[in-house]
Amino acid sequence: MSAAAILQLDQLFFGIGGQTILHSISCAFPQGGIHGLVGPNGSGKSTLLKNVCRIWRPQRGRILIAGQDARTLSRQHLSRLVTLVPQDTRVEFSIGVADFVAMGRHPHLKRLQWLRQRDFDIIDQALEVTGCHALRERFINELSGGESQLVSLARALATEAPLILLDEPTSALDIRHKLDIMALLENLAKQGKTVLMSIHDLDLARRYCDTVSLLSSGRLVFHGAPEDAFAQPRIKEVFHVGVEEIPTQHGVSLLFYR
């Protein structure tokens, strides 16, 4: 594995009920930056993220995180290395925002150990970075979708994990909250965090991602720079539509057509 890669997938296979969902996925993600998983519905994006954080275990292949085989790591150690923000961040039970974010500190605590001053400082910082400090006394089940997404990201930051996984972080948000989330992820990447996210909004992926991985029917058809990922032949192959790149003063915009 490259010394700069924080995550490497090596011949990854995964299936459920006799159906293979991921077919021999092999690629590496360098430390830092935003890395996008792009593909049609059912292409395996969410499944890949769940394999990386070991919600599901691959049938074959290896996942290396910071050079360590994920299969050999304890759950607590793995949770210090990688954290997942799921697609649906709504919480139906009543819990305070600060207490919810504090759950991100559990991988750093011994059994029955109370939060220490350092833990409280990290929780406050996570709330501050995500713009959620004013929400700390609210109950999470009372928040809007955008607020809930930011609080879930704050909990992920509280883990201090260097690898952050996000499953469709902008899918249910209005355009302002989408841009807020992407700007936050961009800042985290500049600070050395590695962000790996599945994303349907190809315009945002083209604008913000440092690498793009194109998945189709559980197979990796491209892994590399976004300007190459969204070339006309690849978009036609994966999504069966045409694409035209339109330069603007804010970056490249994508126009899709049938």
User: Which residues contact residue 233 at a Cβ distance below 8 angstroms, ignoring those fewer than 6 apart?
Assistant: none
What pTM was computed for the model?
Answer: 0.94
Query: pLDDT class for 18, splitting at 50, 70, 90?
Result: confident
- CATH, range 5-87+162-257: 3.40.50.300
CA angle (196, 132, 116) in 5-degree steps: 90
What is the rounded radius of gyration, in angstroms, for the C-alpha atoms of the chain? 18
User: Residue ranges of the domains in the chain?
Assistant: 5-87+162-257
On whether the CB atoms of residues 181 and 170 are closer than 8 A, the answer is yes
Query: What average pLDDT does this structure show over 225-239?
Result: 94
DSSP lists the bridge partners of residue 65 as 7, 68
pLDDT digits (tens, 9 = 90+) for 182-226: 999 999 999 999 999 999 999 999 999 999 999 999 999 999 999
pLDDT at 30 over 70: yes
DSSP lists the bridge partners of residue 35 as 196, 211
SS3 242: strand
pLDDT digits (tens, 9 = 90+) for 44-88: 999 999 999 999 999 999 999 999 999 999 999 999 999 999 988
For residue 146, the model assigns a pLDDT of 85
